[in-house]
Amino acid sequence: MAFRLKPPYPLFPTSIYKINEEDGVNGRANKNGTITINSNINDPAQEANTISHEQIHVDQMKAGELDYEDNSLTWKGKTYPRKNGKIKYKGKWIPEGSKKFPWEAEAFNKEIPLKR
């Protein structure tokens, strides 16, 4: 009789790439399931925090909850306009990454805390 061992690694790991990012951007979750992080992050704790945060967004996209285009973002079936680094949410243009957005609030609540 055969048995199966659970591998000690994720079956579908997320690829992570370091790239030069604009100031103020630590990382991004991409629609292709990858994560890019700012190559200027030198603190391992900050890097782990950023990766864990962006992984939540990758998981949200895989679950069909979150999607984005150049000019819009869709969260749980509702589409919000997006331009110039801001998203129109509840009648106001709010900078992307704000904790006011439910998709960001979830990511901030689940990320590895940054201890200083």
Q: Tokens standing for 55?
A: 């992984």
What are 74's two structure tokens? 């869709």
CB 19 within 8 A of CB 43: no
Residues in the chain: 116
Alpha helices, H only, 9-99: 44-62
- pLDDT tens track for 5-55: 777 766 668 999 999 998 889 999 999 999 999 999 999 999 999 999 999
Distance CA 100, CA 116 (A): 24
pTM of the model: 0.86
